[in-house]
Amino acid sequence: MGITVVKREGKSFKDKLFLPGIATGMATTLKHFVKNIKDVEGLKTTQYPEVQPTDITDRYRGVHRLTKHEDDSEKCVACYMCATACPAECIFIEAEERFDGYDEKRPKEFKIDLLECVFCGYCVEACPCDAIRMDTGIFSFIGGTREEFVLDKKALMANERSKDFSND
Ligand code: SF4
Ligand code: SF4
């Protein structure tokens, strides 16, 4: 059948002892440790969260916001497209009738569970009204309870676009 038998390596007594391999690995670790201690400024690693990233571009996806009309009412028309597109199923919308002339419906409640969210941006892409965006520039979100990670409509509408993001 043309089967090729590949010879197994590591059968010698030295290989089975593992100690030479461990010593070689530790020597490499120690070499880099000493080199980095001597030149901390030259480290490629960002000391997050003490040092925040400075290379954030418009393509970064942060915590969501619901965009607003000029009179501060929500652009969202409660069409459920974002919730349908969401792979994490972490968007909860409760619709109600709308009487301000913008559309027929609005979200009575709109919640996103950030603990479930995978920040894929599908909700933003699915929205036909540009009513949800992830350009707040909020990338570190801290909370003490699970409930604090569930953003409601009020919180989502209070979020603003980051000044670091360009207008489009
Ligand atoms: S970013 Fe992705 S996972 Fe998060 S709410 Fe939007 S669609 Fe769902
Ligand atoms: S945010 Fe956009 S996609 Fe989601 S319900 Fe509102 S209008 Fe529809």
Nearest CA owner, ligand 1 atom 5? 117
91 lines ligand 1 (CB under 6 A): yes
In a domain, 51, yes or no: no
| CB-count burial class (<10 Å; 0-12, 13-18, 19+) for 112 | buried
pLDDT value for 107: 97
127 lines ligand 2 (CB under 6 A): yes
Number of domains in the chain: 2
pLDDT value for 31: 96
In a domain, 163, yes or no: no
Co-location of 84 and 125 in the same domain: yes
Compute the CA torsion angle 108, 113, 118, 122 (nearest 10 deg). Answer: 0
Co-location of 75 and 143 in the same domain: yes
Co-location of 148 and 70 in the same domain: yes
Co-location of 38 and 69 in the same domain: no
Q: What is the pTM of this model?
A: 0.75
Co-location of 150 and 92 in the same domain: yes
Co-location of 78 and 33 in the same domain: no
112 lines ligand 1 (CB under 6 A): yes
Co-location of 73 and 137 in the same domain: yes
Structural domain boundaries, residue 127: 65-158
- List, run by run, the mean pLDDT of 10-residue segments along the chain (168 residues): 83 85 95 91 81 81 96 96 98 96 95 97 97 92 93 96 72
82 lines ligand 2 (CB under 6 A): yes
pLDDT value for 24: 94
- Give which of 72, 76, 66, 77 is closest to 136, Cα–Cα: 66
Co-location of 133 and 83 in the same domain: yes
